[in-house]
Amino acid sequence: MEFKIGDLVRFVDEPIEGHITSIQANDIVGVTDDTGFEIPVLKTKITLVHGNMRLPEDDIEDSPKIAQGPFVDKGIYLAVAGEQKDGLAKFYVVNETSFELLVSISEISGSKTTGIFANSIPKSDYAQVYTANFSTVGKWPTFQFQLIRHSRSQQTQTQPLSKEFRVKPLDLINSKEMNNILGEKVWLFELDKKEENIGLDKLKSHFISHRPTKK
């Protein structure tokens, strides 16, 4: 069986469950349990626990009913949950918009990328996309997000969103924010935030306007 980082697995011979946080040589993977410790184990000694990630087709009938309101076109976040003292960090993509998102996430390593998540996320919903250890936050990967916003109602045309992002140790100094969709406090990073581009012409006019006037 092929495993990937983020899979929830159970040990065959022991009552242990955890998420895969590393792929190692010789058919060994690192599994991090709720204590935050990574345990090396052979792939043949674990089995996949289905339903470890929230997917659009899972428990649709149990999803909370969202009251109809104005169309929301902004609010796509990467959320990091967990307590640093517990060790395990869980990464989510949170969709606070009225769009359905088609999401592809890759891990960047030099000039190459490795896909780690690909699925759709309904409006006002979320999906777990990655797990890592807080103890290795300085080595957390740079992610490449590729997002397509889809709506069955008529909306202003949007372009696919492509963004590279890495959570840095200093980012975790900030306080967590309560997220109602996840139902817990998390570190939030806005993925669809409009990047301000001051532009060369604007820079020139700024410096010229502040240049002392010759007498």
CATH label of the domain that carries residue 79: 2.60.40.1600
- What's the number of domains the chain is made of? 2
Q: Domain check: are 66 and 168 in the same one?
A: yes
Write the Ramachandran bin of 199: left for phi over 0, alpha for psi from -120 to 50, otherwise beta.
left
pLDDT digits (tens, 9 = 90+) for 16-51: 888 888 888 888 888 888 777 788 999 888 888 864
202 lies in a domain?
no
214 lies in a domain?
no
211 lies in a domain?
no
88 near 101, Cβ under 8 Å?
no
Tell me what pLDDT residue 47 has.
Answer: 87
Q: Domain check: are 35 and 96 in the same one?
A: no
More confident site: 115 or 199:
115
Q: Domain check: are 84 and 168 in the same one?
A: yes
pLDDT digits (tens, 9 = 90+) for 68-124: 679 999 999 999 999 888 889 999 999 999 999 999 999 999 899 999 999 999 999
55 lies in a domain?
no
Compute CA 111 distance to the chain's CA centroid, rounded to the nearest angstrom.
21
* Residues of the domain holding 22: 8-48
205 lies in a domain?
no
Euclidean distance between CA atoms 6 and 116, whole angstroms: 8
* Angle at 41 (CA atoms; ends 35, 47), nearest 5 degrees: 90
